[in-house]
Chain A
């Protein structure tokens, strides 16, 4: 039961846009719209940024957006800011005895 696959690192300059990919299978990302994205700063608990593929919880900046195509999901951060530097994890519900899985995580660096 492998984790969803994410790039280890992504970087961008302030003001730019970056996209983080999250590759799953037809048993998780491809079959359900329960894809979420979490932001985690060092030493802190994760924070929900996107749920149900492309929905933002109240209080999350509209610079964060999500999408999905077939078995892969993506998180786009537009107008990159220094405070966006953090680790990002995708997750998905899956049809399995282990019904929830996280991605491998992506470290975002603001140059």
Chain B
């Protein structure tokens, strides 16, 4: 069974940093593009960042460009999101997401993790 399990969320002060991890299982991790998607409380979905299967290509939403860094370790079947210079508006549930069949870019999200809550507040 395919599964994604996020960890690393929590409470952080404005300007602080946090690193999210996502452990994947049940599929060939390196064969799929992966993404992070967030959802602020009571709001809609926002695609945050994506990475190709081999890790060579990365993509970011304008709202996080220059502050967040996506990476992956295919030997550990793990996806990461390093979040720096965090702001109150980054408060959200962050979902790890597996593409349906794309290896380079995101085409459709087949599998979602359960989400991890990041709260940015003093």
Partner of A98, one of B59, B95, B108, B112: B59
Give the docked Cα–Cα distance between A67 and B105 (Å): 22
Q: Mark B23-51, 1 if CB is under 8 A from A, else 0.
A: 00000000000010100000011110010
Q: Is the CB of B107 closer than 8 A to any CB of chain A?
A: yes
Give the docked Cα–Cα distance between A40 and B112 (Å): 11
Give the docked Cα–Cα distance between A34 and B47 (Å): 15
Q: Are A102 and B108 within 8 A (Cβ)?
A: no
Nearest neighbor of B112 in chain A, beta-carbon distance: A45
Q: Are B109 and A46 within 8 A (Cβ)?
A: yes
Q: Are B59 and A34 within 8 A (Cβ)?
A: no
Give the docked Cα–Cα distance between A1 and B59 (Å): 14
Q: What residues of chain A lie closer than 8 Å to B95, measured between beta carbons?
A: 45-46
Q: Mark A1-37, 1 if CB is under 8 A from B, else 0.
A: 1010000000000000000000000000000001010
- 61-77 of chain B: CB within 8 A of chain A: 61-62
Q: What residues of chain B lie closer than 8 Å to A103, measured between beta carbons?
A: 44
Q: Are B62 and A57 within 8 A (Cβ)?
A: no
Nearest neighbor of B93 in chain A, beta-carbon distance: A45
Q: Are B100 and A48 within 8 A (Cβ)?
A: yes
Chain A nearest CB from B67 CB (Å) reads 14
Give the docked Cα–Cα distance between A101 and B106 (Å): 10
Also in contact, A89 and B50, with CB within 8 A (given A48-B108, A52-B108, A100-B106): no
Q: Are A3 and B106 within 8 A (Cβ)?
A: no
Also in contact, A45 and B45, with CB within 8 A (given A38-B109, A93-B107): no
Q: Are B114 and A98 within 8 A (Cβ)?
A: no
Give the docked Cα–Cα distance between A6 and B35 (Å): 23
A-B contact pairs, 9 of them (CB 8 A): A1-B61, A38-B109, A40-B45, A46-B95, A48-B110, A51-B108, A89-B45, A93-B107, A102-B37
Q: Taking beta carbons and an 8 Å cutoff, which residues of A are in contact with B? A: 1, 3, 34, 36, 38, 40, 45-48, 51-52, 57, 87, 89, 91, 93, 97-105
Closest 9 pairs between A and B when the two form their complex, measured CB to CB: A51-B108, A45-B112, A105-B44, A36-B108, A100-B106, A100-B47, A102-B45, A34-B107, A98-B61
Q: Taking beta carbons and an 8 Å cutoff, which residues of B are in contact with A? A: 35, 37, 44-47, 50, 59-62, 95, 100, 105-110, 112-115
